[in-house]
Structure 1
Amino acid sequence: MYLPKIFLLLLSSHLVLALVTLDTIRDLTSLTDECRDRITDEGDVIQLPGTPQVHLGSGQEDGGEIEDNITYALRILCSELFIALETPLSPPISSASSSQAVECQMVIEEYHAFLGATVQFLHEIQERQMKWRWDAQSGVRDELSWLQSLWASRSSNTQDRSFIEQQMKMYAETGCFGTSNEVLRRDVEIVEYINDLIDLFG
């Protein structure tokens, strides 16, 4: 997958400084919402930390421009996911906190918010694909394939850890989900949704 120079520079800086934390999920939720807003013409600009502002288009009802907007929004989101997978997990979170119940409620709510933002973003892409019927050569399909591999494949990053595995390890260390398989089950549902979207491109 080709990455513009701006993303390569961004990746190199994050590889040195960043650690994956629960804040990463919050940041991804916000970024996913921004990407969705751009697609629905409710936002004007997407900006990554340390980079210039990136205008994704004027929002006119033009199939080619909409396709470009979605492609670029997906590329930004995938780049952030790639960064998360290329960095080590933060140290385990202590389960001995006296406010663990409150913290766990927040952790679970934020996880659900992340999933909700992801589903809404994918739904907006689905609606536009159903309208414009882009083919298998579309950049949108390429970026969806990258997104799918980041979520489900170990081979998509040098840490040999899929995004699903990353989340399972991180949330297991919080103790907030107990012995439940909720994280695995819900994450697999996201991957299945992405697969269904990819199939729409023929």
Structure 2
Amino acid sequence: MARTTVRAYLNLAILVAGLELLAIGVWFVLEGVRVDQSDDMMVVYICAAAVLASAIWLGGYRPRADEPAERGDDAALRDAQARLDRMDPARLAEHVGELCARDGLAEVATVRVDEDAYAVDVHATRGDGVAAVVRCRAADGPGAVAGGVVEQFVSAVGADREGALILATTAGCFSAKAAGLAAGAGVALLDRAALARWECDKDVPAELASIAGRAD
């Protein structure tokens, strides 16, 4: 934010200096062609240039209150996604468990998934004892998460299980089949971008926010 403000005011200084030099040049040009003008006109030109420069700066160069925060947020999200890309299943589950604990869930624990070498489950409990399960699946490539991953998760936890079911991944997206199966089974999906927003505390998953008693 400080760097942005300094840069904005430097723009103002350059703009004022440039327009005032232009105004002085105009005065000398008019003097050179023998246009009758008093010495006070140079002051008028300089003041007019300063006013014009300020108006231009206010319209397009001054720092807006929301700009520094937005750039900072964007950088934080990019950094979070870069960290997620480097996580293996165990580290991803540890990370998600930390987020669950941060956001008010209790009895947070990680459970290895025998049927999927790329996944580790995070189990957590809300205040009334209802459990949540977050399957944390590290991406095994650039492609979308397939529908079979959702089917495997639903089969493992049981179709009649109560509480929140979430499938979180470091992949960039889910296939159409995966999204359809998840919607039918009541499984929330979090891709890498959603996990990054959660980490940055901008978009806590609704299923966990309600469990933790948080308001979005």
Give the structure-1-normalised TM-score. Answer: 0.28
Greater Cα radius of gyration, structure 1 or 2:
2
**RCO (CA 8 Å, sep 6+): is it higher in 1 or 2?**
1
Q: Which structure features the higher share of helix residues?
A: 1
Give the structure-2-normalised TM-score. Answer: 0.27
Q: Which structure features the higher share of strand residues?
A: 2
